[in-house]
């Protein structure tokens, strides 16, 4: 999570002070203190999901495995701990899976084949209902 427990405590204390000062203007100090304590607890607990969401939003994505990393990860080793001779096959498979952009063929527009009399009849039926 983002930050420490002090962020929660700070948010709770700020809420406590603001609530206490505003409630003190129109209430007895004991009622103001009670409402400020409730605000402290609520804001202290509300800071946990806020920090969690902020950590998810600001989290950097994990880099994907590149062609070189895939090649190194899939190289089998023989008994002596050296690379086996199948690295040529691995390089070929990585080269085959290289990025190639999609190419779209031009779509032909086909004019609709409707009889104008049939279209007029359908429109009349739909407007009558």
Which range scores top for mean pLDDT: 20-34, 75-89, 107-121? 20-34
CB neighbours of 70 closer than 8 A, spacing ≥ 6? Answer: 94
Residue 115 banded pLDDT, cuts 50, 70, 90 = confident
Angle at which helices 29-58 and 5-24 cross, to 10° = 150
Higher local confidence (pLDDT), 13 or 119: 13
Domain spans of the chain, in order of start: 5-57
pLDDT digits (tens, 9 = 90+) for 17-59: 999 999 999 989 999 999 999 999 999 999 988 888 888 888 7
Q: How far is CA 4 from CA 13, 16, 44, 85, 120, in A?
A: 15, 19, 12, 52, 71
Average pLDDT over residues 62-89: 55
Give me the pLDDT at residue 93, please. 61
Q: How many Å apart are CA 113 and CA 109, to the nearest integer?
A: 12
């Amino acid at each position: 999570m983002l930050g420490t427990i002090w962020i929660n405590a700070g948010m709770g204390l700020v809420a406590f002070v603001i609530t206490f000062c505003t409630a003190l203007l129109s209430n007895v100090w004991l009622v103001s203190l009670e409402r400020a304590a409730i605000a402290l607890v609520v804001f202290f607990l509300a800071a946990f999901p806020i920090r969690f969401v902020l950590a998810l939003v600001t989290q950097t994505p994990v880099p994907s495995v590149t062609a070189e990393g895939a090649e190194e990860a899939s190289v089998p080793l023989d008994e002596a701990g050296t690379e086996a001779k199948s690295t040529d096959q691995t390089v070929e498979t990585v080269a085959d899976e290289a990025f190639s952009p999609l190419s779209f063929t031009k779509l032909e527009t086909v004019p609709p084949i409707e009889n104008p009399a049939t279209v007029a009849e359908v429109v009349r039926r739909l407007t009558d209902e």
